[in-house]
Amino acid sequence: MRARTYVVPLAALALLAVVPLLSFDVPRLLPGPLDSPGTLQLLALCLVFAGVALSYDVLFGFTGLLSFGHALYFALGVYVPAIALTKWEWGLPQALLLLAAVALVVPLVLGAVSLRVGGIAFAMVTLAFAQAGNIVVQTNPRNLTGGDEGFSLNVDPLPDFLIGVVNTKYLYWLALGYAVLVFLVARAAIGSSAGHVWRAIRDNERRVEVLGLRPYPYKLISFVLACFLASWGGFMWLLLIGVTPEVTAATLTLTLLVMVVLGGAGTRFGAMVGGFAYTLLDYRLRSLAGEERIQDLPDVFRVPLSEPLFLLGALFVAVVFFVPGGLASLPARLRLLVWRRRAEEAS
């Protein structure tokens, strides 16, 4: 039984690994054949968000902490190495070490404060801290962050195989590696005894206290781990896209929430599937919005279709209403539907 549950994911992993070697076309969905740089960059982004969504799920789906500031740590992964490499002209290993340190200390400090309150207040506080990050980036203190234009990453310290359009496939594999790593770390953490406490906290925090455990340290660990994992996703974004201030916007955390709920919070692969699918859908809707046949439509159709976020938000609302368990719950629902249909036919 244990072996069987891994057949499909392992097959998917194998398929994903060989993508850059296939010259296969997926019309309408992808911008070019599978091994083209444009497609690889898009798929790499999908993988990155699969990982970041899972990091958010550790916090939200497994520990029950509704954070609205997760994007802040993703943004740290974008800006800290970028500043170190470009503005301070550090080498790559030092920049990465700095990110690791920052990605541990910042969530530790902010988490320690935020977790003093629970529920809605916690959500608001995390939002406020993330907004602070947004402001820091936008106001460009000492010309470090580039304000709302960002700045170009200094690629000299980076290894050659990561630079250049022709090497996109290495970035793709790196992104795949990131997603796999996040999965393994998250799985290990969730399966550990701390992970069991997380789920207990999610289900009934009062009961955890009654059992003699203090929820606070466990919540903090979950918070730091989730944020740490997310910031490496930010570094991947830096490599794939560059320095863009939009990563600090509140919208990013909200879209992470959408990804997780869409895929199915608190499930094994739900968040990853949600992150992958959402990123792909977002891209597809954006390119659709720009097409002439959409722009030529009458206003009442053109307006909603030219704004991907409108459709995605509407989709999200529909999912929350009708499929609260997300995509991950669909197999079970379909099975129930088929079973019911069979029962009706039999009687």
The residues that touch other proteins, with contacts defined as CB under 8 A, are: 66, 113-114, 116-117, 120-121, 123-125, 127-129, 131-132, 135-136, 138-139, 141-142, 204, 250-251, 254-255, 257-258, 261, 303-304, 306-310, 312-314, 316-317, 320-321, 324
Please, what is the minimum distance in Å from the beta carbon of residue 243 to other proteins?
18
With a CB cutoff of 8 Å and minimum separation 6, the contacts of 60 are: 66, 67, 257, 260, 265
Encoded tokens for 39: 């497609």
Determine the Cα–Cα distance for residues 48 and 40; give it in Å rounded to an integer: 12
CA–centroid distance for 289 within its chain: 23
Determine the Cα–Cα distance for residues 101 and 72; give it in Å rounded to an integer: 15
With a CB cutoff of 8 Å and minimum separation 6, the contacts of 189 are: 58, 195, 222, 225
φ and ψ at residue 207, rounded to 5 degrees = -65, -35
Instruction: Report CA Rg, the chain.
Output: 21
Nearer Cβ to other proteins (207/342):
207
Nearer Cβ to other proteins (44/102):
102
List b or e across 21-40, with b for residues whose CB sees 16 or more CB atoms inside 10 angstroms.
eeeeeeeeebeeebbbbebb
Please, what is the minimum distance in Å from the beta carbon of residue 67 to other proteins?
12
Please, what is the minimum distance in Å from the beta carbon of residue 199 to other proteins?
14
Nearer Cβ to other proteins (41/222):
222
Nearer Cβ to other proteins (38/119):
119
Please, what is the minimum distance in Å from the beta carbon of residue 345 to other proteins?
27
Nearer Cβ to other proteins (149/156):
149
Nearer Cβ to other proteins (8/113):
113
Please, what is the minimum distance in Å from the beta carbon of residue 121 to other proteins?
5
Please, what is the minimum distance in Å from the beta carbon of residue 344 to other proteins?
23
Nearer Cβ to other proteins (176/247):
247
Determine the Cα–Cα distance for residues 265 and 238; give it in Å rounded to an integer: 27
Among 207, 61, 227, 11, CA closest to 133: 227
Nearer Cβ to other proteins (117/184):
117
Check the CA dihedral 274-276-183-94 and report its sign.
Answer: negative
Please, what is the minimum distance in Å from the beta carbon of residue 5 to other proteins?
26
Contact in structure between 328 and 260 (CB atoms under 8 Å): no
Encoded tokens for 192: 């550990």
Please, what is the minimum distance in Å from the beta carbon of residue 271 to other proteins?
14
List b or e across 155-185, with b for residues whose CB sees 16 or more CB atoms inside 10 angstroms.
eebbeeeeeeeeebbbbbbbbbebbbebbeb
Please, what is the minimum distance in Å from the beta carbon of residue 301 to other proteins?
11
Nearer Cβ to other proteins (123/241):
123
